[in-house]
Amino acid sequence: MGARLVLATRNAHKVGELQAILTDAGVEVTLVGMDAFPDVPEVVEDGLTFEANALKKALETARATGLPAVADDSGLCVDALNGMPGVFSARWSGRHGDDVANLDLVLAQVSQVGDESRGARFECAAALALPSGEAHVVSGRVDGVLIRAPRGTGGFGYDPVFVPHGHERTTAEMSPEEKNAISHRGRAFRALAPAIAHLVVDGRAL
């Protein structure tokens, strides 16, 4: 079973993804999402950086649940859009979480951009917070290019149009294991795993 750890999201994809990443890293925790705490309100992501949003979500979730909490904020940063949509990735089209509309808008905005200028990167900040207020934040990124039409049915968000450097498939065409091995979120949470093991699994936070 392992210690309980709350992931500050109601996105089931992220819960499963992080559970797999931590298990692969040898960190034995029981991960639960915010669906287990229906009375806890959503945290307003009003930070201007991924790090600020991740820290705020982790700290507020730890205080509200009384359990160690992890949170991440991540997004797609497109070179031709001056690093946007960035922290606005999940609501780029105006509606939070509308993956199809967000993806379509980004593709439309770079439709006239030549193949040599379609660089992009996924960035992720991951934070761990204890109910005491102690917190840690790390980051990860993966660089690549945007293709012109979606490919693949795996992943979520902008995965169908992002091909990491050194690969020919989009992250939506990769297996979950392949994606986790190279993804921005995988890199960030693997970097956070030692802090989770030290502060949560060894019993200090229980």
**CATH number reported for the structural domain that contains residue 42 in this entry:** 3.90.950.10
Question: Contact at 8 Å (CB) between 73 and 50?
Answer: yes
Domain that holds residue 64: 3-201
Query: Which candidate, 135, 139, 133, places its Cα nearest to that of 188?
Result: 139
Q: Is residue 131 part of a domain?
A: yes
Percent of the chain beyond pLDDT 90?
71
Active-site entry in 39, 73, 98, 104: 73
C-alpha to C-alpha distances, 130 to 4, 59, 199, nearest whole angstrom: 12, 7, 8
Q: Is residue 17 part of a domain?
A: yes
Q: Is 159 a catalytic residue?
A: no
pTM for the model: 0.88
Count of CB atoms situated within 10 Å of the CB of 128 = 28
Q: Is residue 81 part of a domain?
A: yes
Q: Is residue 102 part of a domain?
A: yes
Q: Is residue 206 part of a domain?
A: no
pLDDT (tens digit per residue) in 55-69: 999 999 999 999 999
pLDDT (tens digit per residue) in 169-185: 999 999 988 988 898 98
Q: Is residue 181 part of a domain?
A: yes
Is 107 a residue whose pLDDT tops 90?
A: yes
Question: Contact at 8 Å (CB) between 65 and 6?
Answer: yes
Tell whether the torsion through CA atoms of 168, 173, 175 and 181 is positive or negative.
Answer: positive
Distance CA 162, CA 122 (A): 9
If pLDDT is split at 50, 70 and 90, which confidence band does 203 have?
A: low
CA angle (156, 153, 112) in 5-degree steps:
75
Split into its structural domains, the chain has a count of 1
For residue 122, the model assigns a pLDDT of: 97
Is 205 a residue whose pLDDT tops 70?
A: no
Distance CA 86, CA 107 (A): 15
Is 206 a residue whose pLDDT tops 70?
A: no
The answer to whether the bond into 85 is cis (omega within 30° of 0) is yes
Enter the tokens of residue 94. Answer: 């105006």
